[in-house]
Structure 1
Amino acid sequence: MIPSQTHLRASVLTILSSLTPQAAAATPDCHCYLTDGSSSEYFANQKFFDFRNIADPRVPPPIDDRDGSTNAPVTNAYFSSTDFTNTWSIQTWIDSRAVYNTYSKNDVYIESNTDADPASRTYLTLRTYRHPAGNFQSSAEIQSVSANYQYLSMRMYSRTRGAAGGVTAMFTYRAGAAEADVQEADVEMLTSDATNQMHYTNQPTIVDGVARPNATHQITIPDAWTSWRTHRYDWTPGSSSWYVDGELVDTNQFQAPVDPATILFNAWSNGDKWSGTMASGQSAQLQIQWIEIIYNSTAEPSPYPHCANVCSFDRGTEPGVSLVISSSP
């Protein structure tokens, strides 16, 4: 059963990293954003993180020392830039369950895209690796520095690859005083599963040893997560909805999040029943070309009363570039 994992100015569109000045200047003046889909909703803000053209990509070799891995520096100057640090923090905590697992900055890096017909020059990689020396796992996690995301539509254009025994995920998280008080909504891919199997969950799934089966769904998607896909999670009042490449694949009202939360992306393994145990010297990776977060709904009825220009990212032609779909004086 799935464990709970411990652990965006109105009218301003933030296009980060590699968009050209011309592309950024062409962005319309948006006062709110309307999503498409079954969970269509108005949101106040948007952020776009573009990893498709980052300078100095490299794959860092694993650090086969527990302390060295835990205390490693960032692997690319981008991770020290305000484009990144204003929103994200790379995590360095330790999980010492079945297999000692340390979250390391060394496992968060910018990699060259060597696909036969690459759609980007680079992408962000989150890696989990089983170290032959030291008998431990190192993993990767980025977490939002703000815990004030309440309702959102977040998307990542990503793929998961690598050895069995890994978990890759996109999720929201709010801690609670007790297990039953945790609020978490997950998109998870297990590398031990068939590559068309997705896990969607409103945590927790177990409270005081009693399973809550309505919290989690295992869904078969049309295409494999080993190929580039747009994975999307919509959190709207009373509901969680999940999409793959724009198609709704699951929705769940049971235990949908309520209160403001953080946002996280990770790749991990700790030898427990959920992740499984990764073979020595093997790794799994969550590779991400871009992340988009449309967030903080006013929860006011349609039409949005304080919004002159309503914009859509779902109807645009390029990721992260919006289109004005309605306007009022």
Structure 2
Amino acid sequence: MRSDISLPFSIAAAFLLAKVAAECTQFSTNSSTAARYNFYRFYDARNLYNSSKKSAVSESSAQSKTFSTVPWSTGWDARSSFKPAFTAQTLDMQYTPAGVFIRNNTQASQDFSTYISLYTTRLPNGTQQTAALDYAEYNVTHASIRILARVRGASGAVAGFFTYHNDTTESDIEMLTRDPSTQVRYSNQPTEDPQTNEPISGSTFNVSLASQRSTSDWNVHRLDWVQGRSVWYVNDAQAASSEVNVPDTASRITLNLWSNGGNFSGEMGIGDEAWFDVQWIALFFNVTSSPDPQGGGTVCSAEFTPGTSKPPSDQ
């Protein structure tokens, strides 16, 4: 496995950050969750090692390349851990960095030649191979997180992009391959009363994409987590909003793809596969140690910086 496969990703991110940092000290978001953030990070996977080749590559040369975790030490960590089944009816899950790849785009496009892919499959031994990327900053207090992504593959997988403190303090964007392909789920945990197992009103939403779009299409998903409120957007349109169980504790940011054979994810057949594909991720956030972002400085709009809904090419 070549560790330099992922270096262009880190270099592209560093270039954009240096360019933006020279001009902006704070970033402001718009819409109903308007806020200011001290930090901005943009991770671009669109042209990682074929930057000079904009056309599609042939299937024969489009083999996946394993994504090394080393250059992500100051950004994202590919998870490596074992999660045992929590009931006799569910599966063990093995998170492995080998489940995160750089892939060539095999469809004609002038916009991107590569993307990141998270992968899950059910192994013959009954274990589910899964994948996750955890952002290195674990003390995020509020954030606007955005991703250009798609989900594809067999029924029984869950793709997530979310803030996480613990299982009862998180705000989620989730796409399930067993759901209709037009559906996205949004939630603040917990979504059920732990005593009665009854649904908690206003904590979770199942939303249909507009204009006959599918979760297997490339869509921009966005979560704004502000004081007392979580708001979700897709392709620049607000999809859901909640003031129920909004996280109030410093959290990390994660994207993952998993299945455990349980009632929520559904069960994948042995050898079945699914993928969570990502072109770019944009993060606007504050942390516990950062000053009040309402102070002075040069404020730039988050809606016109690289990595929002229509990121510019790297010119």
TM-score by length of structure 2 reads 0.81
Q: Which residue of 1 aligns with 2:95?
A: 103
Distance 2:15 2:197 in 1: 55
Q: Which residue of 2 aligns with 1:289?
A: 279
Q: Which residue of 2 aligns with 1:49?
A: 43
Distance 1:236 1:136 in 2: 37
Distance 2:15 2:243 in 1: 42
CA shift digits 1:227-274 (9 cap, x unpaired): 111100000000000000111110000011111101110000000000
Amino acid at match of 1:136: T
CA shift for structure 1 position 43: 0.8
Q: Which residue of 1 aligns with 2:173?
A: 187
Q: Which residue of 1 aligns with 2:219?
A: 229
1:32 aligned residue (26, 33, 37): 26
CA shift for structure 1 position 224: 1.3
Is the 8 Å Cα contact of residues 18 and 50 (structure 1) preserved in structure 2? no
Distance 1:193 1:136 in 2: 23
Is the 8 Å Cα contact of residues 67 and 98 (structure 2) preserved in structure 1? no
CA shift for structure 1 position 102: 1.1
Question: Does 1:90 pair with 2:78?
Answer: yes
Question: Does 1:147 pair with 2:141?
Answer: no
CA shift digits 1:116-139 (9 cap, x unpaired): 3252111111111112x3232101
Amino acid at match of 1:122: T
Distance 2:251 2:195 in 1: 23
Distance 1:322 1:246 in 2: 13
Q: Which residue of 1 aligns with 2:53?
A: none
Q: Which residue of 1 aligns with 2:3?
A: none
Distance 1:52 1:116 in 2: 13
Question: Does 1:241 pair with 2:231?
Answer: yes
CA shift for structure 1 position 59: 2.3
2:204 aligned residue (213, 216, 225): 216
Deviates more, 1:270-279 or 1:21-30: 21-30
Q: Which residue of 1 aligns with 2:129?
A: 138
Q: Which residue of 2 aligns with 1:64?
A: none
Q: Which residue of 1 aligns with 2:12?
A: 19
Distance 1:100 1:225 in 2: 26
Is the 8 Å Cα contact of residues 311 and 322 (structure 1) preserved in structure 2? no
Question: Does 1:262 pair with 2:252?
Answer: yes
Distance 1:22 1:87 in 2: 14
Number of residue pairs aligned between Structure 1 and Structure 2: 282
1:313 aligned residue (295, 298, 302): 302
CA shift for structure 1 position 213: 2.6
Distance 2:311 2:215 in 1: 26
Secondary structure (helix, strand or coil) at the match of 2:31 reads coil
Amino acid at match of 2:73: T
Secondary structure (helix, strand or coil) at the match of 1:210 reads coil
CA shift for structure 1 position 305: 3.3
RMSD: 2.7
Is the 8 Å Cα contact of residues 312 and 322 (structure 1) preserved in structure 2? no
Distance 2:292 2:96 in 1: 41
CA shift for structure 1 position 282: 1.2
1:59 aligned residue (30, 43, 64): 64
TM-score by length of structure 1 reads 0.78
2:161 aligned residue (155, 170, 175): 170
Structure 1: 5+ residue stretches without partners: 1-14, 61-74, 324-329
Secondary structure (helix, strand or coil) at the match of 1:140 reads strand
Secondary structure (helix, strand or coil) at the match of 1:19 reads helix
Q: Percent identity between the aligned chains?
A: 28
Structure 2: 5+ residue stretches without partners: 1-7, 51-61
CA shift digits 1:34-74 (9 cap, x unpaired): 012211111111111111122398426xxxxxxxxxxxxxx
Is the 8 Å Cα contact of residues 171 and 189 (structure 2) preserved in structure 1? yes
Distance 1:19 1:104 in 2: 25
Amino acid at match of 1:54: L
Distance 2:155 2:85 in 1: 20
Is the 8 Å Cα contact of residues 204 and 212 (structure 1) preserved in structure 2? no
Is the 8 Å Cα contact of residues 18 and 52 (structure 1) preserved in structure 2? no
Counterparts in 2 of 1:142 and 1:21: CA distance versus 1, 3 Å: closer
